[in-house]
Every structure is written in structure tokens, then in C-alpha cells.
Amino acid sequence: MNELADYLAYLLSSVGLTVLLVWPQTGPGAWLRDRVLRRVLPERARGVLDCYICLGFWSGLALSPAWWAAEHRLWCWTGCLAVPALFWFVLRPGE
């Protein structure tokens, strides 16, 4: 695949991971968020699990090493900045 298609696949996987963890009220994503991640995170950091923009940064950062291992391209490390920007444009906080 070409580089743009790889980058879009990376962004979509990070966005998908974020939505799976933040959005569902029930199901496997909610179980992982509430029973595992909330218990592992310090109390002050638990709010990140309720925010698409905040968790988008961390999911992009978490997926960066996997994509780096597959692609060996520098853009793999920019996803942690691009995913929150995508959510910010879509959700428009404050409006």
C-alpha cells in the first residue's frame, strides 16, 4: 500500500480504539474501561477514559510502536497528535 493509505489506516485504527473504549455504556469495551483501565489508572487520570480527545492521544501513542514495527516510517509517531485533532474537529468542544 502507499504511504497515505497506511497513514489513514493507522488513524482509523486509533480512532476506532478510542471509540470502542469511550462510547459504549455496556459490552466488552465498557467492561475493559470500567473494570480494568479505571482500576489501573491513578485516580486523577481516570477522567481521560471519558474524553474522546484525551483518550485519542493515548490510543494513538499506544498504537505507534506497533505501526512503527510494521512500517518503519516517522509518521507512525505523529498519530498521537493527529487523532485528538480529528476528534476536536468532529466534536467541536465548546460549541
Torsion of CA 69, 73, 75, 77, to 10 degrees: 40
Instruction: Please write the tens of the pLDDT for every residue from 26-77.
Output: 989 999 999 999 999 999 999 999 999 999 999 999 999 999 998 888 888 8
Place of cell 477522567: 47
Cα–Cα dist 70/17, whole Å: 18
Residue 16: band (very low, low, confident or very high) from pLDDT cuts 50, 70, 90: very high
Q: How far apart are CA 44 and CA 82, in angstroms?
A: 24
Tell me, what's the pLDDT at 93?
62
Burial class (CB in 10 A: 0-12, 13-18, 19+), 87: buried
Question: Does the pLDDT of residue 94 top 80, yes or no?
Answer: no
Q: Are 21 and 86 in contact (CB under 8 A)?
A: no
